[in-house]
Amino acid sequence: MNTLRTLTALALAAASLVANAQPAGGERNTRHALIIGIGQYSDPEVPALKGVVHDMDSARRMARAMSVPDANMRVIRDGDATADRIRQEIAALQQRMSEGDRLFVYFSGHGTRWYDEATKKDGCTEGLLAADGKVLTNVELGERLAPITRKAEKVLVFYDACFSGGVASEPFRTRSLTLGANQVAPKFTRAGAPEACAKPSNFKTRSLDSQMTVSRALPQNVVHIAASRPDEVSFDNSASGGFATTAWRDCLLGQARDRDGSGAVTVDEITQCAQAKVNKGLEGQPGISGQQMTVAGNRSFVPAWMSAAFTPAKPPEAAAPAAPAPTAAPTAAPVAAPVATPTAAPPAAPAPAPAPVRVASPAEILAELHAQRDGARAVTAASRQPKLKIGKDLLQLDITPAKDGHLYIALAGSDGKSLYLLYPNDLAKDNAVKAGQKISLPSKGWEIVAGGPAGTETLLVMVTDAPRDLSGLAQEKAGPFMKSLLDGEGRSRLQFVLSNGTPAAGCGTAGKPPCSDAFGAALVKVQTVD
């Protein structure tokens, strides 16, 4: 091993396996969805949106891709989607969900934007129009979802509605936009909106270059996706649904690419794919400058595990020479790694994807895994020495988790090529940890001496609710040690295995561990010097 020359009993060994109550790549009873679609409004002055019926099917497909069982989806349509009913469904989610669960919220319908004296800067407030004509403001929605975000591991909110109350010019209201034989309708209502708040920036009737601004940082656990900027119109296709929904659905279900070669496809990469589709769909429409999807919150969140085919079998650049096998001087005889049945791998895709723009480094892969953490599950981790002399100093870590769980430590070497799992290992298989109890590693019987080259070593310290089935990792033997393979499939497997738990049978019931895949994590940087 380039980075750690002397290790005693470093090996990649599977932790004790538990019965898998839920397939790793299939439905998870910890996943939930609230899907709201309003194409018909009680007020006849509010234009109908004929494509919303298609959005409902798209939203269900997206939810299933995110492992939400049909039984955990709540769908409310048209006249049922009153403001009070939407409030009730959000409150019911708070009661139904358990700590560490995940939620997908989807809305397709009209947005609106109006003057609010309480808003000091521009006086305009955005909101979603319920079927009965009442408005749920973005402030109210945020407040109602806040208790859920504190309980959930991740909340992904997708709004396919524009937040404009209307457009400036009457000629536009009577102008028909078409795409072939299909009607293209703006997803807005003019009802009650003053001109100052009603002018969208993506029509040439108004020259405004507006950027989405977030008044406060969203929590680690939340990602908001909007079909357009706050002052833009988003569009509905009568034959297929919202442009943004259709595009994001297709990209989530297989057309997005792992652009950085990290082994997973993030919200940011899915949205880049979707934006290209929206741009193409609106090409040639007279007077429309486009529709810009926006993302706020955790852009690095991986919402679904598509398949290893989203990364190439081989990186585009030439394969790096194999790192020399690590040397070991254990103070106790190594224990043979147990034989285990491989866990379910990510589902296979029909065709390989093109090569990514680049290939993520091992440190970048760990950073992306770190971005999947639950912000409520704090993990404190530090190296006793931020700098280690090569061949002399020992790596020593102090770790304190905020919750009970299972401890895993991965290392991206300073050589920029290798990635190892330090813990659990052959001499330290019991990786169960308790909340608030400090763990000091390495423990008695094994130690790690810095081996170089000079540079930065990155350690990902994870404490997971459910154990990980490490037998699903692509591995290669290096003496008594194991190193994770970092070809295309290996990167995908690494991200998949460490992000997904193997919950025990009966999980979530009294006296049993939680079912969730949630984990807390910390990144630790250590410098190796000559």
Domains of the chain (ranges; CATH) run: 4-21+316-529 (2.60.40.2550), 31-297 (3.40.50.1460)
Separation between Cα atoms, residue 489 and residue 162, nearest integer Å: 39
Biggest CA-to-CA distance, the chain = 83
Looking at residues 228-235, what average pLDDT do you find? 72
pLDDT at 180: 54
Look at strands 111-115 and 102-108 and give their pairing: unpaired
Separation between Cα atoms, residue 51 and residue 239, nearest integer Å: 6
pLDDT at 319: 36
pLDDT at 374: 93
Q: How many CA atoms lie within 13 A of 209 on its CB side?
A: 0
Separation between Cα atoms, residue 7 and residue 1, nearest integer Å: 9
Looking at the DSSP bridge assignments, the partners of residue 397 are 383, 441
Three-state DSSP at 41 gives coil
pLDDT at 193: 47
Categorize the per-residue pLDDT at 513 as very low, low, confident or very high, splitting at 50, 70 and 90: low
Q: State which amino acid sits at residue 367.
A: A
Kindly tell me if the per-residue pLDDT of 25 is higher than 60: no
Nearest Cα to Cα of residue 401 among 258, 242, 522, 275: 522
Kindly tell me if the per-residue pLDDT of 331 is higher than 80: no
Helix 243-250 to helix 267-281 angle (10° resolution) is: 130
**Rounded (5°) CA angle 167-170-171:** 105
Looking at residues 403-412, what average pLDDT do you find? 94
pLDDT at 234: 76
pLDDT tens for 115-125 read 555 554 555 56
pLDDT tens for 455-507 read 999 999 999 999 999 888 867 765 445 678 888 788 888 999 999 888 777 77
